[in-house]
Structure 1
């Protein structure tokens, strides 16, 4: 039997449609997202049901074959996560031991792209940048050496600021990476203040949500909700898939 849920992430769910509609509205209208615990309290459902809903909404927000960015693009990397508890400073290790590397690239006045990386290297950065930005772009980064090789392939050139020397904007120019750092700021504040903990396994789905939110920042809430509903069509996530439960969300 065909219903409005057929061929979407809502298919075969036993939750009432009103619950899904409310969750879609809250997820689309909350600037820094909404946690599963908060959603379960507002909808008067279980935490498990709220996780089930948000997991599928974030999966539905995934863009398939998005167009390449053009014009001036900024690229940077960030590490998501916190320090391990009860570990001495001498045994703390590197960021890669307890944080998840995320690379982002944003078009000024346009869209953003995220990706979780196993490691930050010249090869992984180069592959990500070339897959998401047109070669006619002007690339702007910080002075990380890993960007130098890929910067040579852009017709618009590669400019950078010396963050290692506390230079964040080149005087008298528009050379800076403040746009992508602003995007990362919203992501980090949401992880810290709303979700509190995001596992490496499920971080890509959270990035889907924040990539969508940034790319639709110029829309009002009604238009954004409509865009969410349309993006859920044709995507499925089986109920039997194991869901990792964040300890504090």
Structure 2
């Protein structure tokens, strides 16, 4: 928003529409609603999503933290059974983290990690996202054994197909909701911008208890976020 050539009224309307529509709003839909060019609307939306991601990057998870990985394709059509879908290298891997306090869901984070999930990547994400000395629950993926080596209590359980959603209930719920959100509104997207769509999804999820304040909170996030140009968004 800083030094933007776009009138503030359009920024406020865009922030309002993004913050009040749980389904999200597509760039095409926004451009038609506000009478903007497609690329002007695209730039505004992605700058706002970047602000969402920047804001949530300042928080770390604590308590019991569930972690699981999911794979997102450009069509977002995956088989529901993990035993069949596996960990495909043709899709984009996302590490999903959900904090729990007294069995209540707290904050969540979703991080795009590329084409595979390995111990080095897991360690990097956890160090950035989770406070030291927490309890982390995962499935039996061997790469997760690094968790106990970086200062956390690791509860690892080998699960198969149908039982996976019971052991890691909240991460599976978040993954399912994220895919419904993306497929329902945006249909298809490139790997390059997947993180920004996920930033929007879990920013809203993390503030689900303060829906009436979302507009004000998002205004704040946008005003304190680092200014970025179109070239940075398209790199």
Q: Shorter chain as normaliser: what TM range?
A: 0.7 to 0.9
Kept in 2: contact 1:102–1:117 (CA 8 A): yes
1:138–1:154 Cα contact (<8 Å) kept: no
- 1:147: Cα distance to partner? 1.3
**Aligned counterpart in structure 1 of residue 110 of structure 2, from 114, 124, 142:** 114
**Aligned CA distance change for structure 1 residues 48 and 153 (closer, same or farther; 3 Å):** closer
* Higher helix content, 1 or 2: 2
Please tell me whether residue 96 in structure 1 is matched to residue 89 in structure 2: yes
1:141 and 1:233 map into 2 onto residues whose CA distance is 37
Match in the other structure for 1:77: 69
Q: CA deviation at 1:178?
A: 1.3
**Which of structures 1 and 2 has the bigger CA Rg?**
1
In 1, Cα distance between equivalents of 2:152 and 2:121: 20
Distance change in 2, residues 1:148/1:225 (3 Å): same
Where 1:211 maps in the other structure, the secondary structure is: helix
Call closer, same or farther: CA 1:188–1:19 in 2, change over 3 Å.
same
| Aligned pairs, number | 218
1:204 aligns with 2:200: no
Deviations 1:103-133, CA, capped at 9 Å, x for gaps: 1111022111221112211221233223322
Q: TM-score by structure 2 length?
A: 0.82
**5+ residue gaps, structure 1:** 1-9, 85-93, 171-175, 245-249
What secondary structure, in the 3-state scheme, does the structure 1 residue paired with 2:210 have?
A: coil
| Residues 71, 136 of structure 1: 8 Å contact kept | no
Kindly indicate whether the alpha-carbon contact (under 8 Å) linking 2:140 and 2:156 is maintained by their aligned counterparts in 1.
no
Aligned to 1:87: none
With normalisation by structure 1, the TM-score equals 0.78
**1:61-102 CA-partner distances (Å, limit 9, x unpaired):** 123652321111100111111469xxxxxxxxx8323x2111
What does residue 123 of structure 1 align with? 120
Are the aligned partners of 2:165 and 2:172 in contact in 1 as well (CA < 8 Å)? no
Q: CA RMSD in A?
A: 2.5
Q: Does 1:213 align with 2:204?
A: yes
Q: Show structure 2 runs of 5+ residues with no match.
A: 77-86
